[in-house]
């Protein structure tokens, strides 16, 4: 038998007594080891149960963001069509004269130039007015080239051009202050535009390193055919 102190009066009493013989206060029953074991087991089950929802939800969120699962549960994204050549008709409101054009998408130089040419874009085109065809390169602002020769009213530019993998020399002309370079040999340029897959033109701006403009030729043959058909009606 062990003695414990009464919580009310402080007298020593038997731990087996139900009440204190001095003050009559009830003696709290001692919790057995078995009771503590049961309580611990209950707490463990409650804790594990509370963790199960978060544990089972993780694989679902992880698998939905992983490449392997998304490839089986999500539809593959459709790749948008690449920009290609287009054709259009232009009419002079004063004279009524009409021309048709087949033009490439706008491109920037392979390495952007510095000020004041940082936003320059270019496009390759073929024009037709019913009696003649011509090939040209258009620019968003008039090119200020350093490798040209000045003639009466225009400049001559001799530079390199690459049709697919074939590099050759080309001669172009630019009217003073114009935003266009015209091919001297139109027929050869138009033939290459129709049959090639790509073309790159090298140009030297004042104060800049040599710039390279690469024009895609996807859809050029179809756009050229459409432009010629419209041109035939003039």
The structure tokens listed for 97 are: 């004269």
198: left (phi over 0), alpha (psi -120 to 50) or beta: beta
Q: According to the model, what pLDDT value does residue 61 have?
A: 41
pLDDT at residue 234 in the model: 84
Task: Please state the separation of Cα 5 from the chain's center in Å.
Answer: 80
How confident is the model at residue 28, as a pLDDT? 63
Q: pLDDT in tens for each of the 234 residues of the chain?
A: 566 677 667 677 666 666 776 776 666 665 566 676 777 888 777 666 665 544 344 444 433 333 444 443 444 444 446 789 999 999 999 998 999 999 999 999 999 999 999 999 999 999 999 899 999 999 999 999 998 999 999 999 999 999 999 999 999 999 999 999 999 999 999 999 999 999 999 999 999 999 999 999 999 999 999 999 999 988
What's the confidence (pLDDT) of residue 32?
Answer: 63
Structure tokens, 152: 């009466």
**pLDDT score recorded for residue 39:** 75
> Quick one: pLDDT at residue 19?
72
The pLDDT score that the predictor gives to residue 1 is 56
Give the other-Cβ count within 10 Å of 199's Cβ.
Answer: 23
Looking at the DSSP bridge assignments, the partners of residue 124 are 137
- How far is the CA of 171 from the CAs of 86, 116, 156, 183, 184, in angstroms? 25, 26, 7, 6, 6
Domains assigned to the chain: 3-70 (no CATH), 86-231 (2.60.40.1880)
Locate 26 and state its tokens.
Answer: 């009830």
Measured distance CA(171)–CA(121) in Å, rounded? 20
């Amino acid at each position: 038998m062990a003695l414990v102190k009464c919580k009310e009066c402080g007298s020593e009493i038997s731990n087996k007594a139900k009440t204190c013989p001095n003050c009559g206060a009830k003696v709290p029953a001692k919790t057995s080891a078995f009771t503590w074991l049961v309580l611990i087991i209950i707490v463990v089950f409650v804790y594990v149960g509370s963790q199960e929802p978060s544990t089972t939800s993780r694989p679902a969120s992880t698998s939905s963001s992983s490449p392997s699962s998304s490839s089986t549960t999500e539809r593959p994204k459709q790749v948008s069509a690449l920009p290609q050549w287009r054709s259009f008709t232009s009419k002079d409101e004063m004279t009524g004269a009409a021309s048709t054009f087949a033009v490439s998408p706008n491109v920037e130089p392979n390495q952007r130039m510095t000020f004041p040419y940082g936003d320059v874009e270019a496009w390759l085109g073929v024009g037709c007015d019913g009696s003649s065809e011509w090939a040209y390169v258009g620019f968003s602002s008039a090119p200020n080239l350093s490798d040209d020769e000045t003639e009466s009213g225009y400049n001559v530019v001799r530079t390199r051009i690459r049709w697919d993998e074939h590099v050759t020399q080309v001669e172009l002309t630019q009217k003073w202050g114009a935003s266009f370079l015209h091919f001297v040999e139109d027929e050869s340029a138009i033939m290459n535009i129709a049959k090639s897959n790509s073309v790159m033109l090298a140009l030297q701006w004042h104060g800049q390193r040599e710039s390279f403009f690469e024009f895609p030729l996807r859809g050029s043959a179809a756009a050229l055919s459409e432009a010629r058909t419209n041109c035939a009606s003039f």
